[in-house]
Homo-oligomer: A and B are copies of this chain.
Amino acid sequence: MSGKKQNIPRYRQVYEILRKHITSGVYREGDMLPSENDLCQTNGITRPTVRLALDQLVKDGFIKKQQGKGSIVCAQPKGIGILSVAGTTTAIGKENLKTKILEGPVIRKWDDPFVFPLSEVEKESGCIYMERVRLVNNKPLFYDITFLPNINLPRFTSRTFENRSLFDILRKSYQVKVTGGEQRLKAIPAKGKICQHLDVKEGEPVLHLERKINTNRIDYSFYSTLFCNTTEHDLFGIF
């Protein structure tokens, strides 16, 4: 036997297949996807199941649907897809992205007060703290401070994060999948560490995001404070 027999839903499997076909160029911008009935036959499933897969693709911006015609493949966004669900790494592609660790991961107390309300369990457990800088073409783009509740993440602080995706590590080593979250953002003048890490002048406008990121573990969320230099790249999102 090859791998462990997982129990991934059929609609999820079909979603992954179609997504791969789109990102790898089997279907290109403007192309029609096979009709829902075709996809039923091809994959041996029924229409409601196919539609679950397609709904997800619509939500992620890969296709748009038109009644009476079909599913049309969309252009892939060129910006930085930080606003949609997916880590930074998948959003810009691994080629030009480097991750530098500035601090941590270390276990420490939460900031008090913290930007988002914390449960008692979270407060007691303390947090895993990490500071990173993401560079695109060797220029600093994100200055990212991550806070993870120190709950059931054995040996986390001794792992290597340099040039690795946090989301990937969480998913593959701890079965923690990101399902969504909330964010608030504003434009602020750069100062202090932000200037230093993003290589911008004092007072220069930078984007400031505060994100709460939810996972498949009920009541397990983690938090990220993010500063972004948007002079060269925009942030991109669909809604």
- Interface membership of A239, Cβ < 8 A: yes
CB distance from A226 to the nearest CB of B (A): 12
- Interface membership of A34, Cβ < 8 A: no
- Interface membership of A66, Cβ < 8 A: yes
Question: Which of A35-43, A131-139, A160-168, A203-211 is found at the contact surface with chain B?
Answer: A203-211
A238–B83 CA distance with the chains assembled, in angstroms: 9
Report copies per complex: 2
Question: Which of A17-25, A104-112, A177-185 is found at the contact surface with chain B?
Answer: A177-185
B239 touches A183 (CB 8 A): yes
A182–B181 CA distance with the chains assembled, in angstroms: 18
B230 touches A186 (CB 8 A): yes
A83 touches B239 (CB 8 A): yes
B234 touches A184 (CB 8 A): yes
B188 touches A187 (CB 8 A): yes
A239 touches B85 (CB 8 A): yes
CB distance from A30 to the nearest CB of B (A): 12
A182–B239 CA distance with the chains assembled, in angstroms: 6
